[in-house]
Structure 1
Amino acid sequence: MGELHFIKYRLMLYKLFSASSIVLLSIIFSPAFAQPDDFSQAKVIAKNDVYFDRMQKGTLYCGCSFEFKGRSGGVIDLDSCGYKVRKNTKRAQRLEWEHIVPASNFGKARQCWQNGGRKNCSKNDPVFSLMEADLYNLAPAVGEVNGDRSNFNFNQVQTNQKYYGQCDFKVDFKQRAVEPRDEVKGMIARTYFYMHDRYQFPMSKQQEKLFIAWDKKFPVSSWERERALRIAKVMNHNNPFVVGEKQWKEGDRSKLLKAKLPEAAHETGALHGNKRSKKYHLAEGCPSYNQVSTKNLVLFKSEKEAITAGYSKAGNCK
């Protein structure tokens, strides 16, 4: 199976297997098991393995210093970057983890989004959870700026209004557009290329044109390269647009297929186990193969694996 197919398969196994099977799965899928399974885990890993020494001038949009607090949060030093609070002092002082490509952008390509938005996707769609937890798409940000950015598109913003003091982050609330400081434009462009290429969801022609320009004008920095290396050790794959394995070309957006990844409910070809009945079903010859509810679904790679886990073949299998 393809790399994305395999990762999704691993993720579903991790979420659905009982605690007693975790040791076995760790052996089967090591070292890929180090990848975060959800957004909460991703924030902790980003703190401990990626940004552990980047607390000085380390926030994405403003270059503010911060101090980590708690499991994955932090406190912003507003004076370090000349930040001026626009409206929300409490949130301005809080470190938050920004999805550079907003969750709504890739979430809308999933059926779960149509049936309940982000909350439903995070709860019921392991593929969305994988996308939401992708470390290449996460960066520390001033909470207020993160909130104001919302899911606005990046663009060239024509305004002299400075909402955040010396923080060079432009917002056009009416047009729902933002423009970051030059230092991170290239990184943002290559993050968009990575996310759209890896997860195969559409990109607008306007965004493609903008990011191609930013990618060309703002080459990979030493920190962007180091960041990518650190993330690759956890994710077990590179951002090819950072390390030079790929280059986005105009028109690549037209090749993207909406929602190319399969939905998470069932995985064709795998054995379907029912953790309630402790029965497993083969893809061929078992009438109930696609009738196991998602909440009870357990996937196995072979009958031997299912039997070792305490499952027996369903009685209606031919």
Structure 2
Amino acid sequence: MKSILMMFLAMQMATSHFALASAPTTFEQAKVELRQKVYYDRNTSEAGDLYCGCDWKWVGRSGGRVDFASCGYEVRAQENRAQRIEWEHVLPAYAFGSQRQCWQNGGRKNCIDTDPVFRKMEADMHNLAVSVGEVNADRSNFRYGVLPSTPMQYGACPTRTDFQQRVTEPRDQVKGAVARIYFYMHDRYGLSMSRAQQQLLMAWDRQYPVSAWEQERDRRIARVMGHSNPFVTGERSWNLGMRVKGAGTMAQAIRSEPVQHQVSGGYASSSLSPVIGNRNSNVYHLPVGCPSYEKVGTRNRVEFASAADAEAAGFKRAGNCR
């Protein structure tokens, strides 16, 4: 009986710790959290950095110096950036930022200044990984792809980039991991992804299953972020053209109001139907009183718990709503 009680208390403590997890609110804070709580013992492990498998020596709060000999790395063009580790947004900031209205109105800086959802995406630890700085710079905001005829560019590091096609092919060991990070980001933040990119990443997901380190990384990040990547844990799987949840945008608003239904000239509260946003036009539609509510295509559709959530995410009410 005593052992059962102790197990119950341990479970309660673990649950409480998870519930009290506080996700970082800025990119800079996320890097420090990753250094201290996720990658603290990975700088000399077999896995190494994301793209080349290099070891590194920690420097400062979240930086590091790359050990070229550990992975046979050779500098391509940028000596200074090659020597340091950087924190790579696996799904580039441009890829998720350009789908926000704030980016259209002033780029990344404007998004950081004005859009809480963008700041949340930029600081999402699930999307951040250690990378050799030069490879991070070369990858830029290019999409992932397959480059069978592109020669090796960094000595023994197998990741390659075609600058004309704007494509990077990561090393085989992380192809499944980057695919599942892409799935997570698009699903959590209601982002659109091309059919060709979906097909490629689905193939990588099948070909390169979740590794032990990927599982441990997910557990460590979940303790800070408060949630796991469901495509790593197996709770969700990606299907071509699937309907994304957009949970990260629904939870963002500081103050939320109930979904409204038009009744006798006013609005009555309801929690049954979501507010539907169109990420292509950046307008949202209410369940009642908006003629285009059912007309938003799956690819451009994102759901919000309330009109306030939609507006906090940068959407405006559709002009044809009565």
Deviation of 1:261 after TM superposition, in Å, equals 3.6
Are the aligned partners of 2:90 and 2:127 in contact in 1 as well (CA < 8 Å)? yes
Match of 2:79 in 1: 89
1:136-183 per-position Cα deviation (integer Å, ceiling 9, x unaligned): 000000000000000000001132411100000111111000101110
TM-score, length-normalised on structure 2? Answer: 0.70
Among residues 193, 214, 219, which one is paired with 2:204 in the alignment? Answer: 214
Aligned residue runs from structure 1 range 203-242, under 5 A: 203-242=193-232
**C-alpha distance in structure 2 between counterparts of 1:143 and 1:244, whole Å:** 31
Q: Summarize the Cα distance change of 1:150–1:59 in structure 2 as closer, same or farther, 3 Å threshold.
A: same
Q: Provide the rounded CA distance (Å) in 1 between the counterparts of 2:180 and 2:65.
A: 28
Q: Pairwise mapping of residues 1-318 of structure 1 onto structure 2 (< 5 A)?
A: 31-32=19-20, 34-56=22-44, 57=46, 58-252=48-242, 255-256=243-244, 261=249, 267-269=255-257
What is the root-mean-square deviation in Å for CA atoms of aligned residues?
2.5
Contact 2:188 2:247 in 1 (8 A): no
Find the aligned partners of 1:176 and 1:36 in 2 and give their Cα distance. Answer: 31
Once residues 30 and 222 of structure 1 are traced to their aligned partners in structure 2, the CA distance between those partners, rounded to angstroms, is: 21
Q: What secondary structure, in the 3-state scheme, does the structure 1 residue paired with 2:201 have?
A: helix
Structure 1 residues 185, 251: closer, same or farther in 2, change over 3 A?
same
Task: Decide whether the 8 Å contact of 2:81 with 2:134 is kept in 1.
Answer: yes
Aligned residues with identical type, % of pairs: 52
Q: Paired residues, what number? A: 242
Q: TM-score, normalised by structure 1?
A: 0.71
Query: Would the aligned equivalents of 2:24 and 2:123 in 1 still touch at CA under 8 Å?
Result: yes
Distance in 1 separating the partners of 2:77 and 2:97: 29
Instruction: Extract unaligned runs of 5+ from structure 2.
Output: 1-16, 259-266, 269-322
Distance of 2:103 and 2:247 partners within structure 1? 12
* Contact in 1 for aligned 2:21/2:226 (Cα 8 Å): no
Q: Which 10-residue stretch deviates more, 236-245 or 121-130?
A: 121-130
Say which SS state the counterpart of residue 35 (structure 1) adopts.
coil
Q: CA deviation at 1:108?
A: 1.2
Runs (5+) with no aligned partner, structure 1: 1-28, 271-282, 285-318
SS in 2 for 1:141: strand
- C-alpha change, 1:107 and 1:32, in structure 2 (3 Å) is farther
| Contact 2:26–2:119, Cα closer than 8 Å, also in 1 | yes
What is the CA distance between 1:263 and its match in structure 2?
12
Q: Which amino acid aligns with 1:99?
A: H
Note if contact 1:92-1:143 (Cα within 8 Å) is conserved in structure 2: yes
Distance 1:250 1:113 in 2: 27
Separation in 2, partners of 1:85, 1:223: 27
Comparing 220-229 with 257-266, greater Cα deviation is found at 257-266
- Aligned residue identity for 2:95: N
Change (3 A) 1:32 1:108: farther
